[in-house]
Amino acid sequence: MLPQELIRRKRDGHELAGTDIAAFVRGITAGTVTEGQIAAFAMAVFFRGLSMDERVALTRAMAESGSVMDWRPLGLPGPVLDKHSTGGVGDKVSLILAPAVAACGGFVPMVSGRGLGHTGGTLDKFESIPGYRAKPDRPTLERVVREVGCAVIGATDDIAPADRRIYAVRDVTATVESIGMLTSSILSKKLAAGLHGLAMDVKFGSGAFLPDFGQAVELAESITTVATGAGLPTVSLLTDMNQVLGRTAGNAVEMVESIAMLRGEPCDGRLLEVTRALSAEMLVLGGLQPDIDAARAAFDHAISSGAAAERFARMVAALGGPSDLLDAPERHLAAAPVVRPVFAVTPGHVVAVDVRAVGVAVVELGGGRTRVEDPVDHAVGFTDVAAPGELVGLQERPLAIVHARSEDAAQAATARLRAAVTIGADAPAAGPLIARRIAA
C-alpha cells in the first residue's frame, strides 16, 4: 500500500493490516517514507488511535527495523530480563535493580535513556562515572552480560532505528502523548533486546511524564497487553511520583545514594520498596523464584549479603569505570563547589510537592538538558530532600540541600524549590506507593 493511502485509511478511522504497517516502517528505515508522511501518520494515529493488534504490529515492525539481540549462542544459564520506567524525578531504581537481579541469577542487558524534560535519565547518572562506556560495542556488551550478569548502557544506532526517526518527528509535532505510539516506542527497543521478561514501572503524579492516574493506567494496560501479544511476558506496576523517589535528585548525587543502598547503609524506604517490588516481578517472570514473597526475600538477601554490590562494582569496572567506585565514590564522582541548605520560609509539615518543578530546578542547575546537544553538569542537584509529612523548620530540618555551580545558581534553585513545596500545620495522609499491578 502506498504511504499516502495508509495515512488516508488511518485518518478515516480504519484499522490497518499488520503487513501494511510493516511495509510503512520498512519505508521509514529505507528513507522512502518522508518526514511529512511520518508526521501525517503520527497525527492520524493521535486522533484515531491504534487497536491492540495495530500496536503489536507496529511494535514488532519497529523492533525488527534494526538489530535484534539473540542471547542463545552465549549459552546463558538464566533468563534475560529487564525493567523500564516511564521516568520520574530521583528515579534511581535501575542503578540498584540491575545488579540485584543479576545477583539472583538473571541476566540484565538494560538499554537506558537520557533525561527527558524534567525527568532524569539513567544513562546520565552512569555517565557521571569517569571512564564509564555507556555505548560499548556488541562484543563488549555480550561479554559483560555473560561474565557479570548485567550491563546498563545506551541504545546503539542499530537498535530500533525506525523508532528513533518516528520519535524525532513526534517530538516536534505534538504527538508524543499518543498512548498507542508511546507503547510501541517503549516496547520496540525491549523486543530488540531479546528479553524473556519485562517489568514496567509506570509512574503517575506531579513528577511523572503522565501525571493523570487514568492515563497512566491506560498506558500500563496497553504496554502489558501489547508486550505479551508480541511474545514478551510483562507485568506493570503503577507507582507514585508525587514526591522525589529517594532523597536525591541529580546525577552524581543519585549515584552516591544508590551506592549507599547497595552497601547496605540506611536508605529511603520508598526507594527500597519500589526497587524490591520491580526486582521481584522480574525474578518471577524469569522463573528464578516461585512467587513474589520468595522473590522479595531473594532481593533482600542480594542486598544484605553484598552480592548486588559486588555485581555493580564488577559491571562498572568492566565498562571502563574505576574499580574502587563502590568503596570510595567521593574520590571519583564530581562534587559541586556551592553546597547549602534550603530552609522553608515558615515552619510546618510538608503537605505537597510539585515534583515536576523540582525536576525543572535540577535542569536549570545544569543537571539536565533543554536541547539534545546540551552538556550535563553531573555534580549539581539536591540531596536530603524532605518528603510529604515531614516537619521542616526555619533553621533545623531543611527542605533540601542544593548543590550548585555558582552562588547565583544556588539562589535560583532555592527560590524554585521553596515555590514547589507547600507547608502546612498538619501532615497529609500517605497514599499507596504501588497503586496497582497489571498483568496479562
Q: What is the pLDDT of residues 383-418, one digit of tens each?
A: 999 999 999 988 889 999 999 999 999 999 999 999
Report how many domains make up the chain: 3
How large is the average pLDDT for residues 82-88? 92
Whether 236 is catalytic is no
DSSP letter assigned to residue 2: -
Whether 55 is catalytic is no
Is the pLDDT at 115 greater than 60, yes or no? Answer: no
123 and 235: one domain?
A: yes
Dihedral sign computed on CA atoms, order 62, 68, 69, 72? positive
The confidence score (pLDDT) of residue 373 equals: 65
The confidence score (pLDDT) of residue 156 equals: 78
DSSP letter assigned to residue 116: B
**For the whole model, what pTM was predicted?**
0.93
The confidence score (pLDDT) of residue 10 equals: 97
Residue span of the structural domain in which 198 resides: 72-329
199 and 248: one domain?
A: yes
Backbone angles phi, psi at 267, to 5 degrees: -140, 170
Q: Which of 165, 189, 356, 378 is catalytic?
A: 189
Consecutive H or E run containing 332: helix 329-332
83 and 218: one domain?
A: yes
138 and 80: one domain?
A: yes
The confidence score (pLDDT) of residue 177 equals: 80
- Ranking 40-54, 117-131, 234-248 by mean pLDDT, the lowest is 117-131
How large is the average pLDDT for residues 117-144? 88
Place of cell 523517589: 245
233 and 136: one domain?
A: yes
| H helix runs in 159-291, sequence order | 161-171, 179-192, 213-229, 252-262, 269-285
Is the pLDDT at 111 greater than 60, yes or no? Answer: yes
The confidence score (pLDDT) of residue 1 equals: 82
The confidence score (pLDDT) of residue 117 equals: 59
Q: Which of 59, 65, 119, 122 is catalytic?
A: 122
d(CA 194, CA 154): 15
How large is the average pLDDT for residues 197-221? 94
Residues whose CB falls within 8 Å of the CB of residue 337, separated by 6 or more in sequence, listed in order:
404, 405, 406
Q: Which of 170, 314, 356, 378 is catalytic?
A: 170
3-state secondary structure of 353: strand
State the average pLDDT for the chain: 94
- Residue type for 103, please? A
The two most distant CA atoms of the chain are separated, in Å, by 69
CATH number of the domain encompassing residue 11: 1.20.970.10
- Ranking 134-148, 158-172, 295-309, 425-439 by mean pLDDT, the lowest is 158-172
The confidence score (pLDDT) of residue 91 equals: 93
Q: pLDDT-based confidence at 319, cuts 50/70/90?
A: very high
Count Cβ atoms within 10 A of the Cβ of residue 274 and give its class: 0-12 exposed, 13-18 middle, 19 or more buried: buried
Residues whose CB falls within 8 Å of the CB of residue 190, separated by 6 or more in sequence, listed in order:
82, 84, 111, 198, 227, 232
The confidence score (pLDDT) of residue 439 equals: 96
The winner for highest mean pLDDT among 105-119, 154-168, 176-190 is 176-190
Whether 185 is catalytic is yes
Q: Which of 60, 83, 276, 356 is catalytic?
A: 83
Residue 56 belongs to a domain? no
Of all residues in the chain, the percent with pLDDT exceeding 90 is 85
Q: Which of 10, 55, 92, 190 is catalytic?
A: 190
The confidence score (pLDDT) of residue 116 equals: 58
325 and 339: one domain?
A: no
pLDDT tens digits, one per residue of 262-273: 999 999 999 999
Could you give the strand order of the β-sheet that contains 381-383, starting from the edge strand earlier in sequence? 249-250, 381-383, 400-404, 338-342
165 and 305: one domain?
A: yes
Is the pLDDT at 119 greater than 80, yes or no? Answer: no
Pairing of strands 234-240, 197-204: parallel
Whether 84 is catalytic is yes
3-state secondary structure of 167: helix
The confidence score (pLDDT) of residue 372 equals: 61
Residue 92 belongs to a domain? yes
Q: Which of 82, 163, 268, 377 is catalytic?
A: 82
Q: Which of 84, 165, 196, 311 is catalytic?
A: 84
Whether 189 is catalytic is yes
Residue 439 belongs to a domain? no
Is the pLDDT at 118 greater than 70, yes or no? Answer: no
Whether 314 is catalytic is no
pLDDT tens digits, one per residue of 213-245: 999 999 999 999 999 999 999 999 999 999 999
Q: Which of 29, 59, 85, 183 is catalytic?
A: 85
Whether 83 is catalytic is yes
